[in-house]
Amino acid sequence: MARDLVLSFETSCDETSVAVIENGNRILSNIVATQIKSHQRFGGVVPEVASRHHIEQITSCIGDALRGANVTYDELTSVAVTYGPGLVGALLIGVTAAKAIAWAHHLPLVPVNHLAGHIYAARLVEPIEFPAMALVVSGGHTELVYMPEENQFQIIGETRDDAAGEAYDKIGRVLGINYPAGKPVDELAHKGQDTFHFPRAMDADDNFDFSFSGLKSAFINTVHHADQIGEKLSHEDLAASFQQAVVDVLADKTKRALKEFPVKQLILAGGVAANQGLRDRLTKEIAGFSDTKLELVPLSLCGDNAAMIGAAGEMLYRHGVRGDATLNADPGLEFEWLVDEAK
């Protein structure tokens, strides 16, 4: 059987990444050039700085990805690229590079939704079995996605305000932790106890939506109030209390969703899927669902990377999804468009 080889691009935020994926599920190379250091002194991603870094990095990432995979342009089957959601200037660098290569080498171009990429990272470990559910938690998104079949995505719940990762980054700043704060807060949380009992917003509500801005404000107010009266609070307990509140809501809503939408697989994906507290909790909870298998995206593939875009790209290619020279970045790309995309 001929090898299917996707050259894939991811530049939606602060990682410039290019990968080569074989047959949709095998990573031949996955080059990730992170820009985190350049953004840290600003406390978050600066879009203009991100675009400039992507321009500087993209050409060498392409070369490294092809060399790393020991593959030439002639052997490629398709070119896949994240075209949204994300930062418009950052997305444009990947989209332009992918279009240029597709055009120059007469290859089909496959536009990929960034969130579909996060979810389909799971198939780099094991085939996805449908119907499946994904909890996608990242710096920009918190979504429960029901997937009746391959290439079908139905958002059944999402955040009404801050994304989970965004809340981690914002409360981290109050604790003096540099962006991105998720991992250090996770580590601190394991050394403390839930002593503050922060609010679990919408936990009891009869829907699958989330809200993290009230929790974030409660956290920040607690720390500021203590500062004003000269009281010293335990950062470990603060982190543990925050994390417990986030994990409680994510786990409770996911459990409720699984009861209403029974699935063969639950996929935990996105940057916040690297959270150890969340991984442990879902592992425990899923034991109560004997017909559902938990698929934890491996830590190395939770954050933004092009391998996941190649994994989704190969699937979309089989479903006939194509882009052309008019393909543009779509910073606010909605997920729903994918529901009936199999044309």
Task: Tell me which residues touch ligand KG4 (CB under 6 A).
Answer: 13, 138-140, 165, 168-169, 180-183, 186, 270-272, 274-275, 303-304
CB nearer to ligand KG4: pick between 93 and 107: 93
Nearest distance, CB of residue 93 and ligand KG4, angstroms = 16
Positions in the binding site for Zn ion (CB under 5 A): 138, 304
Nearest distance, CB of residue 136 and Zn ion, angstroms = 8
Closest-CA residue to 91 (of 256, 293, 254, 333)? 333
User: Is the peptide bond between 298 and the residue preceding it cis, with omega within 30 degrees of 0?
Assistant: no
CB nearer to ligand KG4: pick between 304 and 314: 304
Consult the annotation and say whether 178 binds a ligand: no
Consult the annotation and say whether 74 binds a ligand: no
142-147 sheet: strands from edge to edge? 154-158, 142-147, 132-137, 265-269, 293-296
Consult the annotation and say whether 140 binds a ligand: yes
What 3-state class would DSSP assign to 204? Answer: coil
Consult the annotation and say whether 136 binds a ligand: yes
Closest-CA residue to 80 (of 68, 65, 67, 70)? 65
CB nearer to ligand KG4: pick between 75 and 276: 276
Structure tokens at 323: 């882009």
Query: From the list ligand KG4, Zn ion, none, which binds 181 (C-beta under 5 to 8 Å, kind-based)?
Result: ligand KG4
Nearest distance, CB of residue 185 and ligand KG4, angstroms = 6
Pair 14, 45: CB distance under 8 Å: yes
CB nearer to ligand KG4: pick between 84 and 271: 271
Consult the annotation and say whether 249 binds a ligand: no
CB nearer to Zn ion: pick between 139 and 323: 139
Pair 5, 75: CB distance under 8 Å: yes
How far apart CA 80 and CA 84 sit, in angstroms, is 12
Consult the annotation and say whether 227 binds a ligand: no
CB nearer to ligand KG4: pick between 20 and 171: 171
Nearest distance, CB of residue 220 and ligand KG4, angstroms = 16
Query: From the list Zn ion, ligand KG4, none, which binds 186 (C-beta under 5 to 8 Å, kind-based)?
Result: ligand KG4
Nearest distance, CB of residue 39 and ligand KG4, angstroms = 11
Consult the annotation and say whether 137 binds a ligand: yes
Nearest distance, CB of residue 209 and ligand KG4, angstroms = 19
Pair 169, 139: CB distance under 8 Å: yes
In sequence order, what DSSP letters do the residues of 144-160 get, joined into one string? EEEESSTT--EEEEEBS
Count of other CB atoms within 10 angstroms of residue 238? 25
Pair 62, 54: CB distance under 8 Å: no
Structure tokens at 61: 């990432």
Tell me the binding residues. 114, 118, 136-140, 169, 182, 186, 275, 304
Tell me the binding residues for Fe cation. 114, 118, 304
